[in-house]
Amino acid sequence: MSFEIKNNVFSVGKTDWQEQHFHGQAMALPHGTSYNSFLIRDEKSVIIDSVPKQYTSDYISKIKEIIELSDLYAVIALHGEPDHSGSLGHLLAAKPDLPVYCTTMGEKSLRGYYHKNWNFKIVKTGDKLNLGSRELTFIETPMLHWPDSMIAFLTNDNILFSSDIFGQHYASEFLYDDLVSNCELMWEAVKYYANVVTPYNTKAKKSLADLKSLNLPVELICPAHGVIWRKAVSEIINTYEKWADSYSENQISIIYDTMYESTRKMADAIAQGIRNTDKNVKVKIFNSSKHHLSDIVTEIFCSKGILIGCPTYNYGLLPSTAALLDEITGLKFSGKKAAAFGSYGWSPASTKIISERLEKSGFEIVGNGMKVNWVPSEDMLAQCRNFGAEFASSF
Ligand code: FEO
């Protein structure tokens, strides 16, 4: 069923309770997600974004509860990724000359995905579309998180349609931020930022500054995923500003993989050393082969420092550590410290590889890495505790 958010503005998207992964398997979605699409009914009625192709039938039914497709004036494609554009083809098949408002890069991505000569109307920051009783103002937000991304502000009702920005993979029958668990909501919001937006922090900062400089009287933020922000509107904007600025909390995360528990024992001893040195720092330990990479990325995002441990395996790393380092490289974290540790039998290669990868990824490396030959003795575990203490003391 569609839902009227405000004065003939309807939510017509899809709440997806069953989806457990996103971007392939890259992101775990324990709370499902939603693909938000909005219908603004006015003298000129428009649809903002759509839903994945597999949900087209439900989606079209929801729209038809409110308006015939033939009565639509235009589609606004804030972003071309298929989770938001998958049903456009059906809408446009029903009305082939329906204008598709998007950015220059939006046209490129939509042509690339669908190979259709749709009636593209290119908009730039500041362009307006008069709907009759109110108008939409477009604001480009390039690389937040795709080159084609933009957002739109609806005057009079003061609604910001923010595309992926401020989104959360969070399915709920309650559509608003103040009606759901704040803990769950903010975890999904920060996880979304950490995994999707972090590589574009610089762009995010600029887009947020541009948005603030417009002094828009935003009353509702309608993102493309998750619940609508109506209570914590300024809070989520301010929080995004913090997240975009080399964010960290007083947390150190230890992430390891292990074959015969040696590196796991090192991780525990390092954690003890950190705790012995700093009673206030939050220390968390994760096994990278057991915890989902997207959750670990979120914890790294929240950490001021990380230690990555892995035994030497085939003169290199275990697969989960290699995957973690690949992910970290792409995310371009800044302002964080790191160190490496690991056990080995006949080749102490892993710590060197980890340290080099972390340094290339922008981390400040502390120490030369902690290596243990075969199984850690009591003396070696004491050295690991010292290693953890030195890491904690480096802040
Ligand atoms: Fe939710 Fe960037 O697509």
Q: How confident is the prediction for the chain on average, in pLDDT?
A: 97
* C-beta of 79 in contact with ligand 1 (< 6 A): yes
pLDDT of residue 327: 97
Ligand 1 atom closest to Cα of 164? 1
Per residue in 210-247, pLDDT (tens digit) is 999 999 999 999 999 999 999 999 999 999 999 999 99
Q: Residue 232, SS3?
A: coil
Helix (H) or strand (E) holding 204: helix 201-213
Q: Where are the alpha helices (DSSP H) in 56-118?
A: 56-66, 82-85, 88-94, 104-114
The phi, psi pair for 110, rounded to 5°, reads -70, -40
Based on the residue annotation, tell me whether 192 is a catalytic residue of this protein: yes
Residue written as token pair 């109110």 = 134
Structure tokens at 338: 């790191």
* C-beta of 265 in contact with ligand 1 (< 6 A): no
Ligand 1 centre to CA of 99 (Å) is 21
**Half-sphere CA count of 390, side-chain side, radius 13 A:** 15
Structure tokens at 59: 């989606």
The Cα 224–Cα 192 span in angstroms is: 12
Per residue in 216-225, pLDDT (tens digit) is 999 999 999 9
Ligand 1 centre to CA of 165 (Å) is 9
Is 138 exposed, middle or buried, given 0-12, 13-18 or 19+ CB atoms closer than 10 A?
A: buried
* C-beta of 230 in contact with ligand 1 (< 6 A): no
Model pTM above 0.85: yes
List all residues 6 or more positions away from 104 whose beta carbon is below 8 Å from its beta carbon. 122
Span 337-342, average pLDDT: 98
For the cut 90, the answer to whether the pLDDT of residue 2 exceeds it is no
List all residues 6 or more positions away from 278 whose beta carbon is below 8 Å from its beta carbon. 392, 393, 395
Percentage, residues of the chain above pLDDT 90: 99
Ligand 1 atom closest to Cα of 146? 2
* C-beta of 49 in contact with ligand 1 (< 6 A): no
Per residue in 279-318, pLDDT (tens digit) is 999 999 999 999 999 999 999 999 999 999 999 999 999 9
Per residue in 133-157, pLDDT (tens digit) is 999 999 999 999 999 999 999 999 9
Span 368-373, average pLDDT: 98
Per residue in 55-86, pLDDT (tens digit) is 999 999 999 999 999 999 999 999 999 999 99
Residue written as token pair 């600029």 = 206
* C-beta of 31 in contact with ligand 1 (< 6 A): no
For the cut 90, the answer to whether the pLDDT of residue 114 exceeds it is yes
Helix, strand, coil share (%) of the chain residues, nearest 5: 40, 25, 35
List all residues 6 or more positions away from 204 whose beta carbon is below 8 Å from its beta carbon. 144, 197, 240, 243, 244
8 A C-beta contact, residue 33 and residue 189: no
The Cα 262–Cα 126 span in angstroms is: 59
Percentage, residues of the chain above pLDDT 70: 100
Ligand 1 centre to CA of 52 (Å) is 11
Ligand 1 centre to CA of 114 (Å) is 16
* C-beta of 81 in contact with ligand 1 (< 6 A): yes
Residue 95 Cα to chain centre, angstroms:
34
pLDDT of residue 1: 79
Per residue in 21-67, pLDDT (tens digit) is 999 999 999 999 999 999 999 999 999 999 999 999 999 999 999 99
pLDDT of residue 334: 96
Span 325-352, average pLDDT: 97
Based on the residue annotation, tell me whether 327 is a catalytic residue of this protein: no
